[in-house]
Amino acid sequence: MDGPNPIYRPVARLVRGVPVSDGAGVRLNRLIGTPQLEDVDPFLMLDEFRSDDAADYIAGFPDHPHRGFETVTYMLAGRMRHADNRGHEGRLDAGSVQWMTAGRGIVHSEMPEQENGLMWGFQLWVNLPGKDKMTTPRYQEIPPEQIPTAALPGGVTVKVIAGAIAGVRGPINGIATDPTMFDIALPANGRFSVSLPKGHSVFLYPFIGDVEVGEPATRLAHGHIALLGEGGAVAIKAPQGEARVLLVAGRPLGEPVARYGPFVMNTPQEIRQAVTDYQLGRF
Ligand code: FE
């Protein structure tokens, strides 16, 4: 059943991305993890990288550590190569997803495997509950052909990365925060709706076109991220023309967050331990 009023989840916050530079000098549009939107529990960061100028991405992300959370890379265009200090290596092609549970720690690099052309995609950081922060690192690497598409009425299609809709279940499994991650394509005048678990945090990011969210509708223009409030289903319309929307939802952890660069723990003491362990080569 749909939850309490309102019938559709309303837009609770509407925020524009912030241009930042990260890694060895990669230009990014940061949507979560900014002064305007520090986090959306359990989501700690969302970056969009999109450029056809190699100068914006060629420096990549040389060796750097992670501990205590998960990084999710979803490629829309271009190719990246990933390699870590445990000998795990792979290529992320356009349309693929890498869901990396860093757990107790890895050191890795994420470098472009192209010298020109469009590089476009997202990196999302998902927090881990305290009990899982020191878990063994785990990778789920899904090539494009293994991401199923749900065909919905009215010509709407959904690439289901995590969670399920219309009987189509995404390949990502065993994640503590029970996430939903959809790439939704709406034709002009298309309508989409989905019921998500009550209490889950939900955000929407239209990365092509503009959409309207909820009922009564709030306009969500390209380049803005919407954090939705409590309610029933998520409703999206595309009255202005075709659009693509990233929908992400997950169960909030409600735990204290101690954050220092690529380490996300519960307490400052655990952060100090992470820094020490990294310096001593224990990752
Ligand atoms: Fe990384």
Distance in angstroms (rounded) separating the CA atoms of residues 251 and 270: 23
User: Quick check: is 89 in a domain?
Assistant: yes
Taking the centre of ligand 1 as the mean of its atom positions, its distance from the CA of residue 170, in whole angstroms, is: 23
Taking the centre of ligand 1 as the mean of its atom positions, its distance from the CA of residue 47, in whole angstroms, is: 12
User: Quick check: is 280 in a domain?
Assistant: no
Taking the centre of ligand 1 as the mean of its atom positions, its distance from the CA of residue 71, in whole angstroms, is: 7
In what helix (H) or strand (E) does residue 63 lie, and over which residues does it extend? Answer: strand 61-66
Give the chain's domain count.
1
Taking the centre of ligand 1 as the mean of its atom positions, its distance from the CA of residue 36, in whole angstroms, is: 23
Taking the centre of ligand 1 as the mean of its atom positions, its distance from the CA of residue 106, in whole angstroms, is: 9
Taking the centre of ligand 1 as the mean of its atom positions, its distance from the CA of residue 225, in whole angstroms, is: 22
pLDDT score for 3: 44
Q: Which long-range contacts (CB under 8 A, 24 or more apart) does 259-262 make?
A: 259/44, 262/64, 262/65, 262/66, 262/67
User: Quick check: is 101 in a domain?
Assistant: yes
Classify 162 as helix, strand or coil.
strand
Instruction: Give the CATH number for residue 64.
Output: 2.60.120.10
pLDDT score for 232: 85
User: Quick check: is 275 in a domain?
Assistant: no
Taking the centre of ligand 1 as the mean of its atom positions, its distance from the CA of residue 102, in whole angstroms, is: 9
Rounded to two decimals, the pTM is 0.96
pLDDT score for 21: 95
Residue 5 pLDDT level (bands cut at 50, 70, 90): low
Who has greater pLDDT, 232 or 15?
15
Q: Give the structural domain span for 56.
A: 11-254
User: Quick check: is 240 in a domain?
Assistant: yes
Q: Is the pLDDT of residue 1 over 50?
A: no
User: Quick check: is 98 in a domain?
Assistant: yes
Contact 86, 108 (CB under 8 A): no
Taking the centre of ligand 1 as the mean of its atom positions, its distance from the CA of residue 279, in whole angstroms, is: 17
Mean pLDDT score across all residues of the chain: 96
Taking the centre of ligand 1 as the mean of its atom positions, its distance from the CA of residue 64, in whole angstroms, is: 6
Q: Is the pLDDT of residue 25 over 70?
A: yes
Distance in angstroms (rounded) separating the CA atoms of residues 53 and 75: 17
Query: Each residue of 160-180: pLDDT tens digit?
Result: 999 999 999 999 999 999 999
User: Quick check: is 260 in a domain?
Assistant: no
Length of the chain (residues): 283
Taking the centre of ligand 1 as the mean of its atom positions, its distance from the CA of residue 108, in whole angstroms, is: 6
Query: Each residue of 94-130: pLDDT tens digit?
Result: 999 999 999 999 999 999 999 999 999 999 999 999 9
User: Quick check: is 281 in a domain?
Assistant: no
